[in-house]
Amino acid sequence: MHCNQYDVYGNLFGLLAAHPVTPLVSLHHLDVVEPIFPNVSRVQALQRLMLPTKLDSAGIMQQSICYDKTKSWTISVSWGFAVQVFRGIFSPREIEMPSRTFLNWYKRADYTAYAFNTRPVSRNPCQKPFVFYMSSVRMDSELNKTVSEYERHHVPHPLCRWKMANPDELETVIVHKKPDPHLWDRSPRRNCCRVMGSKERRRMVIDVGVCKDGEVSEI
C-alpha cells in the first residue's frame, strides 16, 4: 500500500487511524494489504469508505482526540473510518503516532526504516484499544451535520484489574460532524472533538468540529 509515500504490507489500521493532518489523496497496492474494514472484501471495504467521502471528502480519516474525564478514557476519532477508546489518559502526541499494526515493504516488523514515529498497539494489557468501525453515515439536513455510526469490533481483550470504568460496555459510537469543504483552505490543524451526553449506557455520542476559541486537542 502506498499512502502519503508510505509503502507497507498487512493491516493498515494503525496508519489510517492516525492519519497525518493532510488530505487523504489515494490508496495504492491494495492487493498486498488486508481490507480496511473487517469481515468484508477489499472492494466492499472501499465501497463503504466512499459513503462518508461523498458527504465530506475533506474530512475523511482526519483524526481528532478528546477525553471522557469522568471515566478517564482517551478517544481517537478517525472520521469516516474508526473510533478508538482507550482506558487511561494519553497525550495527543502519543495518540497521533501510528500504532504498529503493519509491516514494512519487505514484510518485516522493522519500524526504524520509516520517516515517522510509531508506537506499540498497547504498552499495557489494560491499554489495548476498543475499536469501533464505521458502519453507516447519513446527512441530517436539520442539523446540517453528518451522523456516522461506528460499531464495536469484538476481539478478545486481556483481563484488566484497573479500578476504572470499562469501555467493554460500549457497543456503538455516534459521531456528529458538520462538513467543512474549506478545511484545507486554512492552516492545517486537527479538528476538536467533544464527548456529549448519552442516555444509553452502551452508546457514546461525540461531536467533531472546528476548534472553538481557547479549545485545543489536549488534556
pLDDT in tens, 166-180: 999 999 999 999 988
Identify the pLDDT of residue 13: 73
State pTM to two decimals. Answer: 0.84
d(C-alpha 64, C-alpha 78), whole Å? 7
Residue 121 has pLDDT above 50, yes or no: yes
Q: What mean pLDDT, rounded, does the chain reach?
A: 82
- How do residues 60-107 score in pLDDT, each as one tens digit? 889 999 999 999 999 999 999 999 999 999 888 888 887 765 555 445
Identify the pLDDT of residue 1: 41
Query: 3 pLDDT band (50/70/90 cuts)?
Result: very low
Sheet with 102-104, edge to edge strand ranges: 2-3, 6-10, 102-104
Q: Kind and range of the H or E element at 73?
A: strand 73-78
Identify the pLDDT of residue 98: 76
Question: Between 195 and 32, where is the model more confident?
Answer: 195
CATH code that applies to domain 2-209? 2.70.130.10
Q: Is the distance from CB of 8 to CB of 103 less than 8 angstroms?
A: yes
Q: Which of 8-12, 28-32, 128-132 has the highest mean pLDDT?
A: 128-132
Query: 120 pLDDT band (50/70/90 cuts)?
Result: low
Size of the chain in residues: 219
By DSSP bridging, strand 6-10 and strand 73-78 are unpaired
Residue 138 has pLDDT above 70, yes or no: yes
Strands (E), 88-189: 102-104, 130-140, 145-152, 172-177
Task: Enumerate the β-bridge partners of residue 196.
Answer: 205
Task: Enumerate the β-bridge partners of residue 152.
Answer: 132
Domain boundaries, the chain: 2-209
Task: Enumerate the β-bridge partners of residue 207.
Answer: 176, 194
Task: Enumerate the β-bridge partners of residue 102.
Answer: 10
Residue 28 has pLDDT above 60, yes or no: no
- Of the candidates 115, 96, 120, the one whose C-alpha atom is nearest the C-alpha of residue 21 is 96
